[in-house]
Amino acid sequence: MQFKVYVIIVTIIVLFALNFFLIFQNSRDNFSVKNFADNYTNENQQAYILPISGPNYIPVLDSNVFRPAVDAKSAVVYDTGSSRFLYEKNSETKLPIASLTKVMSAVIILEKLNLDDIVTISEETIRVDGEKQDLYLGERMSVRNLLKLMLIESSNDAAYALAAYAKRQGTDFVAEMNTKAKALDMADSNFIDPAGLSDDAYSTVQDLIKLVEYSLNYQEIWDISSEKTAIVESSDERIKHTVQSTNRLLG
């Protein structure tokens, strides 16, 4: 009887030991398989996932693109965002300013005059270029509307009317233009009239870039300049001027 009990106890111990061994072996095998799977996945991820590449802003020259011929005596392409010249041609050559003068005139108007003031048109500010008449003798118009007429239609009469009004207010308009040019370090520029009629006035495209950059402080200049057409009225609304932009690039 004692012998049978002994055999049963030994059998139970052997079975328990065998079960423990099998459990341990299975756990070790599972761990090895998991490690292999993890390593395989990591190796594959490292092998096939490409690094994140950022945008490339370096310009690439396409030699197959036709290059337009620039016939202008002087020209620039300027990026106001990065303050970089993208193209230059004789950018330091002094040339007559013509109607680009009116950008400076607009700056002086906004800095020295009240846009709501009313200007009475005098005889000396009518048909100042000897050709086109934009205003009428005795017509009364706000500084703001004259500014619109000057910027949208490039009206010489409006530019001279505003300069004459400034003089009556004690401001030497052209002197202020040249003072501002000096302040903007436009060393190669000289303004003679508010409309750019005189060919003796001069500037360079390098200097005009400085003027344009400064004028961007006055959003009104560029909001007005972007209008293709507008109706400009006298202060009593009796006279209406239909103006159309001279800028062919608009639209």
Phi and psi of 119, rounded to 5°? Answer: -110, 130
- Per annotation, catalytic residue among 91, 99, 122, 198: 99
Q: Which of 74, 105, 142, 154 is catalytic?
A: 154
Three-state DSSP at 231 gives strand
- Separation of alpha carbons 56 and 106, rounded Å: 39
Please return the burial class of 111, using the count of CB atoms within 10 Å of its CB with bins 0-12, 13-18 and 19+.
exposed
Q: Is 210 a catalytic residue?
A: no
Closest listed residue to residue 112, CA positions, set 191, 176, 194 = 176
154 is catalytic: yes
In the residue annotation, 102 being an active-site residue is answered as yes
Return the half-sphere exposure (C-beta side, CA atoms, 13 A cut-off) of residue 57.
Answer: 1
Residues 74, 102, 105, 155: which is the catalytic one?
Answer: 102
Supply the residues annotated as catalytic: 99, 102, 154
